[in-house]
Amino acid sequence: MRTTQPLLRSCLTSTAAAALPLALAAPANAESGISVSTTGSTVSVTTSACTTIDANGTFGRASLLAGGQTNFSQGRQATLTGTSSSQSAAFANVSPGTFTVTVVCNNGTTAGTQSIIVSGTATPTRTPTSTPTPTRSVTASPSPTRGVMGGFGGTAEDYRTLTLVGGGVLVVTGLGATVWYLRRRAKPHRL
């Protein structure tokens, strides 16, 4: 009976299943000169490839391309700012989906292109309108200071010390009766 073939297949399947999330988690175009990240509905891109600054103090532009957009000018654009060693741009309120970020430096070279999945939701920019508050008012009766008071149909009275003594007598009587019954039952019966 040969069991090596099914065992080998299950090992290969398990290895492939374990490696798949790692392959999907790796950033696309890892050799790209840009790094793209997302926090909630904000997409950020950083690079160090754009070292030439223009008269406006920017290093280039980044474009956020949605599905179906293929040209740099079709996407949402942001200006790269920072220093000659590190430049960055951010896109706020990005709706969930898969996007491609492309960075073009001032000298016209493409620093890199990378895909990213945004799972956060965009934060609303308008404030909600106020809703009218109900005008019905409810008055609460004061709660008893010592817990719930009992009685027959509203005849509850608090006798303070007398109530405590009476309750204590009932508890002691109940305990005494229980002990008497259990001791009586434990003795052997004589006929």
Q: Which two tokens stand for residue 106?
A: 């001032």
Domain span including residue 170: 158-191
* Residue 5 covered by a domain: no
**Do 27 and 95 reside in the same domain of the chain?**
yes
- Which one of 8-22, 31-45, 101-115, 131-145 scores highest in mean pLDDT? 101-115
Using 50, 70 and 90 to split pLDDT, how confident is the model at 154? Answer: low
Q: Give, for 60, the enclosing helix (H) or strand (E).
A: strand 60-65
**Do 110 and 52 reside in the same domain of the chain?**
yes
- Pick the range with the lowest mean pLDDT from 54-58, 85-89, 165-169: 54-58
Query: Residue 72, class by beta-carbon neighbours within 10 Å (0-12 exposed, 13-18 middle, 19+ buried)?
Result: middle
Phi-psi region of 188 (alpha: psi -120 to 50; beta: other; left: phi over 0): beta
The answer, yes or no, to whether residue 100 has pLDDT greater than 80, is yes
Mean pLDDT of 113-120: 86
How far, in Å, CA of 105 to CA of 181, rounded? 96
* pLDDT at residue number 46: 93
Report the domain count for the chain.
2
* pLDDT at residue number 19: 43
**Do 109 and 37 reside in the same domain of the chain?**
yes
CATH number of the structural domain spanning residue 107: 2.60.40.2840
**Do 110 and 164 reside in the same domain of the chain?**
no
* pLDDT at residue number 69: 87
- Which one of 11-25, 26-40, 105-119, 125-139 scores highest in mean pLDDT? 105-119
Contact between residue 48 and residue 55 where contact means Cβ atoms under 8 Å apart? no
